[in-house]
Structure 1
Amino acid sequence: MAESESASEETRAAPRTPEQLLAHLDATGVAYDLHRHPPLFTVEDSKALRGELPGGHCKNLFLRDRKGKMWLLVTLEDRPIDLKQLGAAFGGARLSFGSADRLMTYLGVIPGAVSPFALINDTGREVNVVLDKEMLEFDPLNYHPLSNEMTIAVSPAGLQAFLADLGYAPEILDLGALAE
């Protein structure tokens, strides 16, 4: 690990809790519906236990390239993602999944709890955010709020307001076109 990376890790604040995230959403006026459930680790777990929860159901991929640049890709749960094609769309990056340690360091969550709401823990704004254009057509959108034992449903406008409040200007890609 690079020396500068070690120093920045030592100065990182403790990850926010789900309760702190929900308080942040309340304070900034982002409306949401909260649903509690057993822990969900995969899209398959979610499909099996969500029942009739309406809206767009999403997956979140924490990715990195060989130079250490990171992305959070937020897309519809059934969207096939080809990392080679995606890397080409990102300017030729050779992408792989970020490790559980890196995920905890930058987003403050464990695998299975990744969502755009984990960006509240990226205090250095080191993670690039990419949203699936088609996903934003669904209302509401469903994500974990820093815990895979809860799901919150938010509007696309609420999601984008949250990201803007944190200082993110996500790239919105037509990921369906990449899969064709």
Structure 2
Amino acid sequence: ALDDAYAVLTWAAQNASELGIDPERIAVGGHSAGAGLAAAVALRARDQRGPAISFQLLNEPGLDDRQETWSQRNFTDTPWHNRETLTSVWRYYLGSQPATPYAAPARAEDLSGLPPAYIATAEFDPVRDEGIEYASRLLRSGVSVELHQWPGTFHGSQAIISAQVSQRQITALAAALRRAMA
């Protein structure tokens, strides 16, 4: 998945003029595992001096296969995602391979030089604390971060689009991307 996402980034940057996009305003983003993948693409682009990424939009990111945070240990029966489902996700993704920072970005020792980020977390989400910790580590590395913790929500709850909090979350994500691309 990382190779595919990085190939798309590289292709988009190389073909920016034909695509009518500004190569200085390319963002990566995703939700859950996709957000973890977006963070990994940003790491790889930095490490390989690849295409410039101007922004990362990380919504409820899955970043750490170790599952050692308080939220991972305590949110074992939450809706949609819980410790058991996340254990399966990591097992399927990693197979028998050990995790690297490109698979689990929380394992990266150096987060400096990464693009600014918007990170959103859900209150009752096993991956909540790893998202908050990643945001803190980015800040300590000199990366600009906007962090939003959504009270009363669970992983993926914004799929319930009739809920007012879901509508606010979706609006906030779009607004963060608009601000970053302005």
What TM-score do the two structures reach when normalised by structure 2? 0.27
Higher strand residue share: 1
Relative contact order, higher structure (CA 8 A, sep 6+): 1
Higher helix residue share: 2
What TM-score do the two structures reach when normalised by structure 1? 0.27
